[in-house]
């Protein structure tokens, strides 16, 4: 027996193989709850393939994150002994590795939702597996309703039945089962190794500092085994990686060396891969990661987990109409998931940086994203699927009506939908917008770009915004990086700066030395180039011809055509949003951070820490805004409402 097959048979789920297949055969919907590490994500699709469930169709397995979809697809392809893209493939935004021979297809939940626009009944699939359902992502929640309806309609029309499987390590199983008409629930028992949970006796004032102390207590006092620390974001991770390296230099003689890694989505690919490689001989690997490491991805040799109890989550403010990223406490379900990262290969330990009493006050489950985020992108896709009455859609948890209304209103302002006697319909612009797998505001910018003769530039900017940061620098080199970046900066702001970087990258043909000298993440820029190529192809599909200009005013105007709702005006020394009078600041990462007296800014996103910050910021004149959206500002409580609009003409 080869080692891969032996490893498969050692997994706890292997003992339940026959029962799992019997459950799927007997039920239209099956709900599997299995402990982290039991093997459900990699094995159940293979069991179904072996049992003939994909004989004439394909098996779809959704994942909340792109990294997980790719990593798991690679592993399953290896176990099935097939080349990735053949019998086993994956589909993520802007990248599909499949073929007509594909029988097991891993997708991000957003990609399966997009497929349902083209094929409401998902006829390509015989089985749809919704994995990591406990995360309750927006698209996963929508998919629950979409597959439920597809299953019913396929049955009514006598089409091939659709099997639905919902699974996770932790799940409100009763809630999901009730939604699917009392579907049967199954627990996959077993974990190969135990996990010991340790809590502090008193609350920790500074979880970042406590994480650092805990890491070195483990390193100096505990037996060998690598350490995984859960953090909230890149800046936090970069800080902890640097501090760990510096502290390690001061360790007493006789204490072994450490090999420190970070893991977050913006990290260059070669450094992400470093996380999965063994540490140098005699060293202990310490990994600081976001919740990208919380589900599905298995990092080898993790014996110790340090859980800060914090996560960065997105929240929607319907009064102001914006999403904000902010740090919050995790749920009990997330705490269990994090602990489960230890004990995959041997007995493990989870050091929680919160007391048992604090844990008891955590929410049982993560609040569904659908209850706390902007729904404009989802609503646009739902209308494209023929769901004209969004409020009456069969949501597993119905979003607040004010969130739905705010999202519909945003789409109306963007001229994407119209209300026809209580039923939403796509406009011609909306039909074009839905072709692009983007935020509706970005799609609107692309459609407007032909009017301003700057399609090439807008595609470049949006492609660069669609990848993680194109800069990469260590916190120890931040000052040098800030100096180097000045050569790309412009008074107009970050969007034009991105355009300048792209032009220089192409001029130097992505030269490795040039990228290193300028702190450019070449992998992400090349990824943006691939995205740009796909977006360009979609432009052809909706009859938007290539065009280019060197006029920054036209580019600013086109940016404003999609981002005119993301506006901050200068009041004295502070910026305030047009809606809600919320005070906000320019993010320190922006090239406009130190610029003064810029009267009007548009931004791509808001991030909340101690303050609310604008990221990806562009400066423009109020007249540009009034030229693209005079009706929007007419009744706003700001100075734009009293200004007289006129046809703004570029001075280019």
Residue 320: predicted pLDDT: 59
C-alpha 395/C-alpha 179 separation (Å) is 9
Of the listed ranges 40-54, 393-407, 626-640, the least confidently predicted one is 626-640
Which residue in the block uniquely carries the two structure tokens 């810029």?
598
Q: Is the pLDDT of residue 43 over 90?
A: yes
> Is residue 299 very low, low, confident or very high in pLDDT (cuts 50, 70, 90)?
confident
Contacts of 17 (CB under 8 A, 6+ apart): 43, 47
Share of the chain above pLDDT 90, in %: 65
For the four alpha carbons of 145, 146, 151 and 157, in that order, the dihedral sign comes to positive
- State the average pLDDT over residues 557-572: 93
DSSP characters for 497-547? HHHHHHHHHHHTTT-HHHHHHTTB-HHHHHHHHHHHHHHHHHHHHTT----
Neighbours of 473 (CB within 10 A): 18
- State the average pLDDT over residues 66-88: 93
pLDDT digits 0-9 by tens, 610-652: 788 999 999 999 999 988 988 888 877 777 777 776 665 666 7
**Residue in 444, 406, 404 with CA at minimum distance from that of residue 427:** 444
Residue 34: predicted pLDDT: 82
pLDDT digits 0-9 by tens, 485-523: 999 999 999 999 999 999 999 999 999 999 999 999 898
- State the average pLDDT over residues 279-307: 89
- State the average pLDDT over residues 55-79: 92
DSSP letter, residue 160: P
What is the overall mean pLDDT for the chain?
Answer: 90
Residue 94: predicted pLDDT: 85
Residue 1: predicted pLDDT: 54
C-alpha 544/C-alpha 530 separation (Å) is 19
> Is residue 440 very low, low, confident or very high in pLDDT (cuts 50, 70, 90)?
very high
Share of the chain above pLDDT 70, in %: 95
C-alpha 483/C-alpha 496 separation (Å) is 18
For the four alpha carbons of 98, 99, 104 and 108, in that order, the dihedral sign comes to positive
Report residue 135 as tokens: 């995360």
DSSP H helical segments within 93-137, as ranges?
A: 109-118
Residue 458: predicted pLDDT: 98
> Is residue 345 very low, low, confident or very high in pLDDT (cuts 50, 70, 90)?
confident
Residue 319: predicted pLDDT: 59
- Of the two residues 427 and 312, the one the predictor is more confident about is 427
Q: Is the pLDDT of residue 35 over 80?
A: no
Residue 529: predicted pLDDT: 96
Q: Is the pTM of this model over 0.85?
A: no
Residue 265: predicted pLDDT: 73
- State the average pLDDT over residues 475-480: 80
Contacts of 429 (CB under 8 A, 6+ apart): 414, 415, 416, 444, 447
Q: What order do you get walking across the sheet with 258-263 strand by strand?
A: 195-198, 348-352, 302-307, 226-230, 284-289, 258-263
Contacts of 45 (CB under 8 A, 6+ apart): 59, 61, 76, 104, 129
> Is residue 373 very low, low, confident or very high in pLDDT (cuts 50, 70, 90)?
confident
- Of the two residues 248 and 292, the one the predictor is more confident about is 248
C-alpha 580/C-alpha 570 separation (Å) is 14
Q: Is the pLDDT of residue 358 over 60?
A: yes
Q: What order do you get walking across the sheet with 185-188 strand by strand?
A: 95-97, 88-92, 104-108, 58-63, 125-130, 163-168, 29-34, 185-188
DSSP characters for 435-490? TSSS-HHHHHHHHHHTTTT-HHHHHHHHHHHTSS-SB---GGGHHHHHHHHTTT--
Question: Rounded to the nearest 10 degrees, how much is the dihedral formed by the CA atoms of 500, 536, 90, 184?
Answer: 110
Residue 649: predicted pLDDT: 65
Of the listed ranges 253-262, 278-287, 321-330, 616-625, the least confidently predicted one is 321-330
Residue 190: predicted pLDDT: 64
Q: Is the pLDDT of residue 580 over 80?
A: no
Q: Is the pLDDT of residue 296 over 60?
A: no
Report residue 234 as tokens: 């890149």
Please give the distance of CA 17 from its chain centroid, rounded to a whole number: 32
> Is residue 254 very low, low, confident or very high in pLDDT (cuts 50, 70, 90)?
confident
- State the average pLDDT over residues 148-159: 96
Residue 172: predicted pLDDT: 66
> Is residue 578 very low, low, confident or very high in pLDDT (cuts 50, 70, 90)?
confident
Q: Is the pLDDT of residue 187 over 80?
A: yes
DSSP letter, residue 55: S
Of the listed ranges 218-232, 375-389, 506-520, 574-588, the least confidently predicted one is 574-588
**Residue in 266, 368, 374 with CA at minimum distance from that of residue 321:** 374
């Amino acid at each position: 027996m080869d080692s891969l097959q032996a490893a498969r048979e050692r997994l706890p789920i292997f003992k339940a193989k026959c029962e799992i297949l019997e459950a799927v055969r007997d039920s239209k919907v099956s709900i599997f709850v299995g402990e982290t590490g039991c093997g459900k994500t990699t094995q159940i699709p293979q069991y179904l393939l072996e049992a003939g469930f994909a004989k004439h169709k394909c098996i779809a397995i959704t994942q909340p994150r792109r990294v997980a979809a790719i990593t798991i697809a690679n592993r399953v392809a290896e176990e099935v002994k097939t080349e990735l893209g053949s019998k086993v493939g994956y589909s993520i935004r802007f990248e599909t590795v499949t073929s007509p021979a594909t029988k097991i297809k891993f997708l991000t939940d957003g990609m399966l939702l997009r497929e349902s626009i083209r094929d409401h009944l998902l006829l390509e699939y015989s089985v749809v597996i919704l994995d990591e359902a406990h995360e309750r992502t927006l698209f996963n929640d929508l998919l629950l309703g979409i597959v439920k309806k597809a299953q019913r309609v396929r049955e009514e029309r006598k089409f091939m039945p659709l099997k639905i499987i919902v699974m996770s390590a932790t799940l409100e199983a009763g809630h999901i089962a009730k939604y699917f008409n009392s579907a049967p629930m199954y627990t996959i028992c077993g974990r190969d190794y135990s996990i010991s949970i340790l809590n502090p006796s008193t609350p920790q004032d500074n979880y970042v500092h406590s994480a650092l102390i805990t890491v070195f207590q483990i390193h100096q006092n505990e037996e060998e085994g690598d350490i995984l620390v859960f953090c909230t974001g890149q800046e936090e991770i970069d800080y902890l990686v640097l501090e760990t390296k510096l502290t390690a230099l001061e360790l007493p003689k006789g204490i072994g060396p450490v090999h420190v890694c970070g893991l977050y989505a913006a990290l260059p690919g070669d450094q992400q891969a470093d996380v999965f490689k063994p540490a140098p001989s005699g060293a202990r690997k310490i990994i600081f990661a976001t919740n990208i490491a919380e589900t599905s991805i298995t990092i080898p040799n993790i014996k110790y987990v340090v859980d800060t109890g914090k996560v960065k989550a997105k929240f929607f403010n319907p009064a102001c109409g914006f999403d904000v990223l902010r740090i919050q406490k995790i749920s009990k379900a997330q705490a269990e998931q994090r602990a489960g990262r230890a004990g995959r290969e041997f007995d493990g330990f989870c050091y929680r940086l919160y007391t048992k009493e604090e844990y008891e006050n955590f929410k049982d489950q993560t609040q569904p994203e659908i209850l706390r985020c902007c729904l404009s992108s989802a609503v646009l896709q739902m209308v494209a699927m023929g769901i004209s009455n969004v409020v009456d859609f069969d949501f597993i948890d119905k979003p607040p009506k004010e969130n739905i209304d705010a999202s519909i209103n945003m789409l109306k302002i963007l001229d994407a939908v119209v209300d026809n006697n209580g039923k939403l319909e796509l406009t011609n612009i909306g039909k074009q917008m839905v072709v692009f797998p983007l935020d509706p505001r970005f799609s609107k910018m692309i459609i407007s770009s032909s009017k301003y003769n700057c399609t090439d530039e807008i595609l470049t900017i949006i492609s660069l915004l669609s990848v993680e940061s194109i800069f990469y620098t260590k916190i120890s080199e931040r000052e040098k990086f800030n100096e180097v970046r000045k050569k790309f900066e412009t008074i107009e702001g970050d969007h034009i700066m991105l355009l300048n970087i792209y032009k220089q990258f192409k001029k130097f043909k992505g030269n490795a030395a040039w990228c290193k000298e300028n702190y450019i993440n070449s992998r992400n820029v090349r990824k943006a180039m691939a995205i740009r190529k796909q977006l360009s192809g979609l432009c052809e599909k909706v009859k938007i011809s290539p065009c280019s200009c060197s006029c920054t005013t036209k580019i600013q105007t086109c940016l404003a055509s999609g981002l005119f709702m993301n506006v901050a005006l200068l009041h004295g020394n502070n910026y305030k949003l047009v809606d809600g009078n919320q005070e906000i600041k320019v993010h320190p990462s922006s090239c406009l951070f130190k610029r003064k007296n810029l009267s009007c800014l548009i931004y791509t996103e808001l991030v909340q820490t101690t303050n609310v910050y604008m990221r990806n910021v562009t400066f423009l004149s109020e007249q540009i805004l009034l030229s693209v959206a005079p009706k929007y500002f007419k009744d706003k409580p700001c100075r734009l409402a009293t200004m007289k609009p006129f046809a703004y003409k570029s001075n280019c």
